[in-house]
Chain A
Amino acid sequence: MSGSVKDFSEVNRGLSEENAVFEALRCMNCVRPTCMKGCPVCIDIPAFIQQIAERDFAGAAATLKKDNMLPAICGRVCPQESQCEGACILAKKEKPVAIGALERFVADWERKHGMTLPEIAPPSGKRVAVVGSGPAGLTAAAELARLGHTVTVFESLHEAGGVLTYGIPNFRLPKDIVRAEIEQVKALGVEIRLNHLVGRSVSTDELLSYDAVFLGTGAGLPYFMDIEGENLNGVYSANEFLTRVNLMHADCFPEFDTPVKRGCRVVVVGGGNVAMDAARVARRLGGEVTLVYRRRKEDLPARAVEVANAVAEGVQFVCCANPVRVIGEKTVEGVECVQMEMCDLDESGRPKPSCIEGSNFVIEADVFIEAIGQGPNPLLISMLPHLDRARRGNVVVDDDGMTTIDGVYAGGDVATGAATVIWAMGSAKKAAAAIDRHLRRE
């Protein structure tokens, strides 16, 4: 068993100062930097890397924060391989510059040596409500506060951070880092009202009385497979399983009051980052974990590094299979699966899986976790009159993030469907710029 599977401390240990400078010196400082095109929030990557090379770590941090108030988070959870690093000129020849690791290094360095705030514009006198304090909400709030607007963030949980707090486990994203970056957003003057569920604790009229609104309510509605036995005890959505452990600290039960079924044998279904997170958390809780994915291993949508970590930590993969029934009397006893074969390519260019009749087999299990995706939480968005929604329930927005209600913008998973932290931040940043234009026009 890998050593790291015994606890929840961070798996990736980050770069030392010397290694960071060494890595930064590899940067070619391209005249037309392709890396920046790969970044959804358009960080000035060459500039901050040059500052690291010159050992000006504080300067590098300031450069980063001009475009991104959550660099320690992004440095850890961004899929750099398919973004900045994937677009790095060196990626073609040898290894790309480790931009993600460098971003993380700078953010961590600044946190240890004292954080400084970016400039804040003079007060505009405008009030903006931000719904949700996940990556989209925090980014929109930070951008708008810097532009001089008075920002109130409404968060329904008792802790800010959204998926950064309840979803992504500590070993991938330590919570003290999330808290520190949220403190930075608050230091810009942003007020975060916890325990406020908009639509219930705050009426939609109250919400719409702000000069502008940003909806960053995320993809907080878990999908279930709709198979027999799904409501047996021991069946969790990944959202619930991760919330119990990450937000409510069920791994420390009974010191913390919230329990979770640890499971001797755990089956996780799904192939994304959330599935990997759930599987790796279940490993840390002591279970033998099998991850069932309906396509081939090479089709797994999770980041390669997360798959590799899951494998290293002892997660067993059963690919080309899909659960069809949960077996048990009152509690889960097993998961019946069927083998899948790959047929013609679908719209996404991936082979389409279809069941092989009669190939059913059972994996013994006492906990079954479904990580097959989430939709937008419909509570608030169904209460807003004239807000258009698309087929899957996502809020319809234009290129600026504007919804069909004047002055109401949306970004992140509620608008784009479940995606990554950085895409949520990118869309929030765009929407914040549009909100600023909207407010100054008025």
Chain B
Amino acid sequence: MYLVEEATQLADRVFQMWITAPQVARHARAGQFLIIRLDETGERVPLTISAVRGDQVRIIFMAVGKTTEHLSSMKKGDAISDVVGPLGTPSEIERYGTVVVIGGGVGIASTPIIAREAKEAGNHVIGIIGARNKDFLILEDEMTEICDELFITTDDGSKGVHGFASTVLDELCKNQKLDCVWIVGPAIMMKVTSAVTRPYGVKTFVSLNPIMVDGTGMCGSCRVTVGGETKFACVDGPEFDAHQVDFDELMSRQRTYTDEEKASLEHYHHGGCGCCGGDH
């Protein structure tokens, strides 16, 4: 059992949680993730490791499906049945020069740990965090503290630059030499944003989030096509060269269980109460 030490809401449907998981905390590095299983009937869900303090790891998630909804209802002192990690290959952090760390929406969760390690490696770190509107913006203070420069974008212009992270990145590419870029967010955002650096030949990493089961290379569920080759995101990734990733295939595979996810959420909200017959 893994104890929830702290649970807070950061934005609409976005939650932050600190969990005691010593074996994960001890070894966690930027770019890695963990897998949780809430209880006996739970599924295995991969989540980015967003920060580490002592024996605890932080996860940040948006309540969108059954498991994340259930997780969002958990409080300090509750226990999670299983936490395994750290999983995946750590970010390739070196002294590149000027690096940009970009987070989109709940993907911002991954950025502090990457930005911090990049900073410690001696890079000039520029952060770009973007969200739909100012209410969805998370970790602004943390990123302000870590980054040498921080840009904020909102789709509706309610805060920072009116536009997308790609808008700011495009300007940066035009005006200065960038040495390495990390982009973490929804697949479509990573696809669009990484296209910006392609003509400039800037090394660009994206953190992929395909459907996964074991997370140890055993099932092959998370296979993605990178540079024409099949890779397992759980062990070969989750970070890959953005310019080699087949994003369309990734997005298609992410939708494999759309119907089942709806049914699962429905079952979570109404299942067992008998109020809706249960036969439909």
Selected A-B contacts with CB under 8 Å, 6 pairs:
A196-B23, A201-B85, A224-B220, A248-B213, A254-B264, A255-B271
Q: Could you tell me if A377 and B37 are in contact, using CB atoms closer than 8 angstroms?
A: no
Q: Could you tell me if B82 and A239 are in contact, using CB atoms closer than 8 angstroms?
A: no
Is there a chain A Cβ closer than 8 Å to B83's Cβ? yes
Q: Could you tell me if A377 and B218 are in contact, using CB atoms closer than 8 angstroms?
A: yes
Q: Contacts A254-B264, A254-B271 hold; do A157 and B214 have CB atoms under 8 A apart?
A: yes
Cα–Cα distance between A195 and B219 once the two chains are bound (Å): 16
Q: Could you tell me if B216 and A259 are in contact, using CB atoms closer than 8 angstroms?
A: no
Q: How far, in Å, is B279 (CB) from chain A's closest CB? A: 14
Is there a chain B Cβ closer than 8 Å to A9's Cβ? no
A residues at B contact (CB < 8 Å)? 156-158, 166, 194-197, 200-203, 220-222, 224, 226, 230-231, 233-234, 236-237, 239-240, 243-244, 248-249, 253-259, 261, 330, 377-379
Interface size on B, residues (CB 8 A): 44
- Neighbouring A residues of B87 by C-beta, 8 Å: 197, 200
Q: Could you tell me if B220 and A240 are in contact, using CB atoms closer than 8 angstroms?
A: yes
Cα–Cα distance between A200 and B214 once the two chains are bound (Å): 14
Q: Name the CB-closest residue of A to B235.
A: A379
Known: A233-B252, A258-B43, A259-B264. 17 other contacts (CB 8 A): A156-B214, A158-B44, A166-B214, A195-B84, A201-B23, A201-B27, A220-B218, A222-B218, A231-B223, A231-B249, A239-B220, A240-B219, A240-B221, A243-B218, A254-B260, A255-B267, A256-B43
Q: How far, in Å, is A366 (CB) from chain B's closest CB? A: 12
Q: Mark B53-84, 1 if CB is under 8 A from A, else 0.
A: 00000000000001100000000000001111
Cα–Cα distance between A61 and B48 once the two chains are bound (Å): 48
Cα–Cα distance between A389 and B85 once the two chains are bound (Å): 26
Q: Could you tell me if A377 and B24 are in contact, using CB atoms closer than 8 angstroms?
A: no
Q: How far, in Å, is B1 (CB) from chain A's closest CB? A: 11
Q: Could you tell me if B216 and A379 are in contact, using CB atoms closer than 8 angstroms?
A: yes
Q: Could you tell me if A233 and B253 are in contact, using CB atoms closer than 8 angstroms?
A: yes
Q: Could you tell me if B252 and A254 are in contact, using CB atoms closer than 8 angstroms?
A: no
Q: Could you tell me if A240 and B213 are in contact, using CB atoms closer than 8 angstroms?
A: yes
- Neighbouring A residues of B67 by C-beta, 8 Å: 257
For the residues of A in contact with B, the DSSP-based class is loop
Q: Mark B31-47, 1 if CB is under 8 A from A, else 0.
A: 01000010001111000
Is there a chain A Cβ closer than 8 Å to B225's Cβ? yes
Q: Name the CB-closest residue of B to A378.
A: B217
Q: Could you tell me if A330 and B252 are in contact, using CB atoms closer than 8 angstroms?
A: yes
Q: Could you tell me if A256 and B84 are in contact, using CB atoms closer than 8 angstroms?
A: no
Q: Could you tell me if A243 and B214 are in contact, using CB atoms closer than 8 angstroms?
A: yes
Q: Could you tell me if A257 and B43 are in contact, using CB atoms closer than 8 angstroms?
A: yes
Q: Could you tell me if B267 and A254 are in contact, using CB atoms closer than 8 angstroms?
A: yes
Q: Could you tell me if A220 and B264 are in contact, using CB atoms closer than 8 angstroms?
A: no
Cα–Cα distance between A89 and B221 once the two chains are bound (Å): 47
Q: Could you tell me if B264 and A253 are in contact, using CB atoms closer than 8 angstroms?
A: yes
Q: Name the CB-closest residue of B to A202.
A: B23
Is there a chain A Cβ closer than 8 Å to B255's Cβ? yes
Q: Name the CB-closest residue of A to B90.
A: A200
Q: How far, in Å, is B278 (CB) from chain A's closest CB? A: 11
**B241-278 CB contacts (< 8 Å) to partner A:** 249, 252-253, 255-257, 260-261, 263-264, 266-267, 271
Q: Could you tell me if B216 and A197 are in contact, using CB atoms closer than 8 angstroms?
A: yes
Is there a chain A Cβ closer than 8 Å to B230's Cβ? yes
A158, A253, A377: the one contacting B217 at CB < 8 Å is: A377
